[in-house]
Amino acid sequence: MPRLPKPKVKINFTDFWHPQNEKEIRNNALFILLSKRFDLVLSDKPDFLIYSCFGHRFLKYHCPRIFYASENVRPNFRQCDYAFSFDYPVTSKNYRLPLYKLSSEKVDPNFKILKQKPQQAEKIAQENRLFCNFLYSNKNAKERIDFFHQLQQYKPIDSGGEVLNNLGYTVSRKNKKVDFLSRYKFTIAFENSSHPGYTTEKIFFAFLSGSIPIYWGNKEIAKDFNPEAFINCHNYQNFDAVIKHIVEVDNNDALYQKYLSAPVFVNNIENQYVNDTNIFQRFESIFLNPPIDNKFVAKRSDIFKFLIAKLKQPLLRIKKFLDNI
């Protein structure tokens, strides 16, 4: 039976972490994901706009706006019609789409590798891996840095990022990250900050590497991943108790292999938030049912807000410079 043609959607992406050009937009993981279901036509006069939190260019667009939260920020429904965020609950306006889903699109679509992880447990357990790694560039995450120093009192931790680097070289995050993590029994997989639902790529890449994640950030992380497959700092009274358990796992081969053997997802099925069918259904409800009588939040006057925001940027840079003198 021939496949039905994909619905055509005239769209644009802006205010993401990458440069604003067609090549980068087409390489955006959300663009790649949506292209499985829709024929996306990039346009400067789109029917729909998807934007993130790295600028104010979205204010120039007079069409339905869809906000994607790639950082620990909340949607502003005075500026967007719909949001795909980290936040609970799922509502008619908000769908929870954690960042690790987008991270998986380029390296493990549909989580095929993660679902095979239990089959690799015995092999990984015999690899004689190093103890633990730390791979970060954000120096402002206090909990993560404090934990590094506390755990390091037990055994040396290899830090290959820009923060607390003790290897003499920096691991390339794009090309060598999985190779690096795959050398270690444990990975410190701490988020930059803590908020319910805020789950990024950090725990995902640890799983992908067959390294047991030591996780902190989203207190409801068990809604994303099987709690038997990682060490959840939120289940312990303090970091001392977490470290006591890590020491036990490090010295108990059976317990170590038990973590490795546990499916990443409960029952080895990805959760409802990152299931392709559910995501596509939500976007279909938006794309295939446009607002009646152009009733959406964007206003013609928003262009002035954009211009004001643009004028403020050099002033803020000057203030930051003066503050650092």
- 64 and 15 assigned to the same domain: yes
Same domain, 215 and 69: no
What is the model's pLDDT at position 322? 47
Tokens of 56: 């104010």
Q: Are residues 147 and 64 in the same domain?
A: no
The answer to whether residues 319 and 186 belong to one domain is no
**Do 54 and 187 have their domain in common?**
no
Predicted confidence at residue 34, as pLDDT, reads: 98
Is there a domain that residue 279 lies in? no
Residue 281 lies in a domain: no
Identify whether residues 154 and 268 lie together within a single domain: yes
Give the per-residue pLDDT at 311: 59
Instruction: Please give the biggest Cα pair distance in the chain.
Output: 69
- In tens digits, the chain (325 residues) has pLDDT values of 567 789 999 999 999 999 999 999 999 999 999 999 999 999 999 999 999 999 999 999 999 999 999 999 999 999 999 999 999 999 999 999 999 999 999 999 999 999 999 999 999 999 999 999 999 999 999 999 999 999 999 999 999 999 999 999 999 766 589 999 999 999 999 999 999 999 999 999 999 999 999 999 999 999 999 999 999 999 999 999 999 999 999 999 999 999 999 999 999 999 999 999 999 999 999 999 877 656 788 776 565 565 556 655 555 455 454 455 5
Asked whether residue 233 falls in the same domain as residue 306, the answer is no
User: For residue 282, is it within any domain?
Assistant: no
CA angle centred on 181, ends 120 and 27, rounded to 5°: 100
pLDDT at position 37 is 97
- pTM exceeding 0.75: yes
Residue 18's closest CA among 5, 31, 6, 8? 31
Q: Which domain holds residue 31?
A: 8-97+291-323
**What whole-number distance in Å separates Cα of residue 47 and Cα of residue 45?**
7
pLDDT for the residue 308: 58
Query: 92 and 109 share a domain?
Result: no
- Domains identified in the chain, total number: 2
**Alpha carbon distance 267, 281 (integer Å):** 23
